Amino acid sequence: MKHNQSSLPNLLDMNASEIEALGTPLGWPRYRTTQVLKWLYQKGVSHISEMTNLSKDDRDRLQGVATISRMACSVSEMAGDGTGKFLGKLDDGLAVETVMIPEGHRRTVCVSSQVGCTLDCGFCLTAQIGFRRNLSPHEIVDQVWHARKSLGQGEAITSLVFMGMGEPLLNFEAVAEAIQRLTNAEWGMVMSPRRITVSTAGWVPRFQDIQRLGVNLAISLNATTNHQRQLLMPAVNKRFDLMQIMEASRAYAKRSDRRLTFEYVLIARVNDSVEDAKRLVKLLRGIRCKINLIPFNEFSGSSYQRPSQEVIEVFQQTVRNGGYDVYLRRSRGVDVLGACGQLGRMASEAAHIVPKGLRKGSANARS
């Protein structure tokens, strides 16, 4: 268990059973654990003294054995289209980015699961800062809490996507515990698991675990041949090639009542041809799914380019003709680098990390 500056353990670093165990020597009845958890996840308090339905004695005794230390967060940048990017400051000086995307009455929050990423996808800005560390469950939940706090009257988070910095399936235990805190209907943030999507670059052994959590799975595919995938996503492709991913996706879709989502970042002259679109249709044959097309968002240091609107539309129509629901994701928050594949710049600046593409002598380019 991590200790903060006060040297007392942080209640947010504990799961429900650990908090219950903390109350045992204090002689607490079980419902007191639920009261504490509600203060943490439904009211979002930052001090034990604010837990006003606990007696003064109980609060004092709890303050003697634990504390609350939340991640500090600021709305750092707001794009012209209303997309907000938050920078969460972690205890060890690192930082993490979260994005809130408004669309009509909908509010989608895109959370990060790691600082940086171990995978090295060629079209991804996060990949350029390398891997720093996994986020803890509360560092994930606090991102959602801060996004929720920024909402106006009558607004609510309508969906949550694990599509920010990092590969969530490589930090599965923390992501699963965070989802438990976000969805618990008794003391948690009461979000529906149906409104949560975990996006993976293709970490096959964890697909089944995601199914057990009751949330949605999205697979960042981005290629229709192994050769292409090796070029774009070499680290994950080395472990699980395209055929293994398609086999696991097929098995997942058979067992699930939910539609799988495939994400496909469209990159000019790399994976955006009509032949690619036709191969994609063939690959997905027999899988109940939808496809999100994400035109590449250009950033400094990347040699990849966004396809023309005409090429994007032809690709979309070809996949649609193949019988699939295929959606074009509008680029939101591009002016603050808050769009897909663009998280990492503020986090690296805050932690004084120089992204690979900007290091001296690099000629680089990057879910």
Pairing of strands 114-116, 131-134: antiparallel
Going by their DSSP bridges, the two strands 216-220 and 260-266 should be labelled as parallel
Residue number with CB closer to ligand SF4 (125 or 147):
125
- Please confirm, yes or no, whether 50 is among the known catalytic residues: no
Q: Is 117 in the site for ligand SF4 (CB under 6 A)?
A: yes
Residue 152, Cβ neighbours under 10 Å: how many?
6
Among 83, 108, 126, 302, binds ligand SF4 (CB under 6 A): 126
Is there binding between residue 201 and ligand SF4 (CB under 6 A)?
Answer: yes
Does residue 169 interact with ligand SF4 by CB under 6 A? no
Q: Please say whether the dihedral angle defined by the alpha carbons of residues 330, 336, 340 and 342, taken in this order, is positive or negative.
A: positive
Q: How far is the CB of 352 from ligand SF4 (least distance, A)?
A: 20
Per-residue tokens: 345: 């710049």
* φ and ψ of 290, to 5 deg: -125, 160
- Give which of 214, 5, 1, 46 is closest to 145, Cα–Cα: 46
Task: Tell me if 340 contacts ligand SF4 by CB under 6 A.
Answer: no
Nearer to ligand SF4, 95 or 127 (CB): 127
Count residues binding ligand SF4 (CB under 6 A): 11
Stretches 3-11, 83-91, 163-171, 205-213: which one binds ligand SF4 (CB under 6 A)? 163-171
Distance CA 39, CA 48 (A): 9
User: Is residue 340 annotated as a catalytic residue, yes or no?
Assistant: yes
The answer to the question of residue 140 lying near ligand SF4 (CB under 6 A) is: no
d(CA 114, CA 366): 17
> Which active-site residues does the annotation give?
97, 340
- The residues binding ligand SF4 (CB under 6 A) are 117, 119, 121, 124, 126-127, 165-167, 201, 367
